[in-house]
Structure 1
Amino acid sequence: MSNKPSWRKLMDLGAVKRTDAGLWARPSAIRILPGFNLRDTEAPGYRDDIESLKDHKRRGGKVPPLEVSLSADGQGVDVIDGHRRTTADQELIAEGLKIEWIRIEPFEGNDLERQARILTSQDNRKLLPLELAEGYRRLKAFGLNNEEIAKLVGKTRQHIEQMLLLSAAPHSVQMMVRAGETAASTAIEAVREHGDKAAAVLDSAKKTVAAAGGKKITTAAIRPWSPPPRAVLPMVSAVDAVVQAIPEHVRQALQDKPAGDQVIELPATAVYELLAQQAAIQALRDKAEKKASAAPADNAGDEHAD
């Protein structure tokens, strides 16, 4: 007799049954494979989601069927899509709620397609950026290039590239994203621009933001500041005025680097204008840094999945 898993064998075992409404499985036959799901069970909001599902089911609410595949030992089914729903059911049963059968739907696909299914589920809460990044990293391990991954999950190549950068980011950078200290988009830009030094750049920006009274590191906080075009022209004009005020014989004498104690005279009005423009630009910089510290950060990479 063949030991190959089959739905017929599960039905003979009483673990699965078929009705006019579809396939159903005993809760005891439904398994969660360790490490398969992308969800971070310690992430903020995860427990709230589970409790919300439990409340919904206590009230008799309906949920979609679990997508499952046959377990390798032929004794049950493995969850492909519906891990939070399964966790909610397990907790409800432990709390005394009677759940005899759970509706299931067979997932037909290979190991690559099973991994991709986690990323393409559209029924429930979006995956967090780090969860997405791990999902794409797994697909990359199958030997797929970015174009192939993008096609498989229905996203752009640029999106895949960004999330893979996050998956390869230093651990401390990923922990900043996980803790909500910075957005995924900011972390990705830091890694793209600074590589292994991204953690140091973000840590420095974190201190600057905190000193300004902010809480979250934004992309603006890690970018070198540059004055807006409207402020550049007056500064250039002020510099030109100072240069023009230098006598020709002094310019000739300054062809070589002067001694440290050498002194030249300039019109006070030219120096005044230069200092005024510098002060104006510094004011713009201070304003921009304050705004960057207070600005909310976005969450790049959100996707749906269970």
Structure 2
Amino acid sequence: MHWPGGLPVGPPLRFGLDDALILHEWTESVWWTSDFEAGRLVDTRAGRPTSSTVLDGSMLLPVRWRGRRLLLEPTEGSFRDPRTGQEIERWTPPADGARHWVLLGGNFRASVIAVNGDRMSYLVPDSDAADGWRTVAVLDHGGDRFSQVGSGDSALIVPGGRPVMAIDAIAQQALVRPEGLPLRIDGDTGLEGFVFRAGIGLAVLAQLGRITAWSMTAEAGDPVWERTIGWPVNGIWADPAGERLAIVTTMGELWLLDFRTGEVLARAPLTERLRGTRFSRDCGFDDETLATVVRLGGIVVD
């Protein structure tokens, strides 16, 4: 589904993307779409691939490298031409030998969180660096079991139930506070999503069907805003400037909010599975859940 105007209001454009799991904006009207095995460029105006070329490769991410827009294949350490699939350059991935690593990407930037022993490093590609990678931040997590929650271009690291590291992969910045970041979590279970925009110092955390925004420049305090969604969050994203926040719930509803204030700008159903289904007002659901049912096409009867 695609709303060209940016707001999920009115009927969307619909076109098939096969089994695409990853989507990145290549140009204003072209997307890069891929699954974990292959990908292609798609013209959103026509709803079809720009060419018949399908590029094989694991988790190909669009990046800007030496002044060119290329595709990064991180497990093999390969930069490839998006039109032909030709390998342009090869190098050793920074996560080589790491016992755990995570790739982040967005807005033609890619970065890696690599864990070696008690040391966690956040690294970004840098064509001027000797080995092609620059270390932005390092965290000694003391060997504690840690949780990680994110959104594809952001990550929150939570060792021992305490959030200590936040990463904005679009800005390629990391905030590390071993004593604890200025946001509160309800344990390390039920963490559903996290977005950090370092440029405005604001982060949004989704946990147990609730989203809260926190000032990451404060020492401590209450959330900047908070909102109950009522259902677990299945996905969360924000634009690079941190103006809009999009979330998808497990009920199949898309929410668009103002990132800085939490104001709901629009909501749209992504499924018709409840259309025409009747629910009694005394069925045990709370008012917020029943309102969601109605927005998704269900009928509430007294």
TM-score by length of 1: 0.25
- Answer 1 or 2: higher relative contact order, Cα 8 Å, separation at least 6: 1
TM-score where L is the length of structure 2: 0.25
Larger radius of gyration: 1
Q: Which structure has more strand as a fraction of its residues?
A: 2
